[in-house]
Structure 1
């Protein structure tokens, strides 16, 4: 599944719910497959279920959870990062005609310092996941 402009406009809840349905996976299977390759820690089926339902006050996903979801649902990490940014931090992605994305942080200054730090950490995780130009 390749990232495209239409996909990036969706929330993380939408992407996870739709992708699990596409793969015909139960929550138990999703938990078994969604394991962070760096830490070996799975994403619980309770978290996946709450994420799919867009449960109010759900804790934003950590970089480890996003990596695990990317592996388990066979989607690009960047797609999940963009969808999580949109849902949890008000980050929108603007697609240019070239297909490159630029993240804009909506109302960043209105966020409290903790959430600002989370947004910055998410952007750093996104940037560090990209291959470095030689």
Structure 2
């Protein structure tokens, strides 16, 4: 039987860290969270939701437009907010093979709980897999 994993706070921690780096208040961040693909929709995050997220309070998983808006507000590549959200809400970690192929990317559940040997086995599988 699988045991429950500890809660993840990847996106919450990313938001807090980036707000500190940029010197943003929750209100300023909320105002800047506009989806670049639909600027007419205006800000997609409220100050209260961002504050709850940063404080590790329960919030709903963000939609794709909300992640694009948050990325814009935090001035980060979309990939980083997507990966943090996937880890926080779905326990999926993105792992890059920095050793041999920086283009190799895996989405893995509970990667941090794996032994170094098991992590290396996954990297070898990813490097040798040819879907064609």
Corresponding position of 2:47 = 45
| Structure 1 residue 99 corresponds to structure 2 residue 102 | yes
RMSD, matched Cα? 1.8
Q: CA deviation at 1:103?
A: 1.1
| Higher RCO, 1 vs 2 (CA within 8 Å, ≥6 residues apart) | 1
> What count of residue pairs does the alignment treat as equivalent?
97
Gap runs ≥5 in structure 1: 1-9, 107-134
What's the counterpart of residue 87 of structure 1? 88
* Poorly superposed stretches of 4+, deviation over 4 Å: none
Q: Does 1:67 align with 2:68?
A: yes
- Following superposition, the deviation at residue 99 of structure 1 comes to 2.4
Deviation of 1:105 (Å): 4.4
In the alignment, structure 2 segments of 5+ residues that lack a partner are 1-8, 111-132
CA shift digits 1:42-78 (9 cap, x unpaired) = 111111111111213x200111110001111110100
TM-score normalised by structure 1 residue count:
0.66
User: Cα distance, 1:20 vs. partner?
Assistant: 0.6
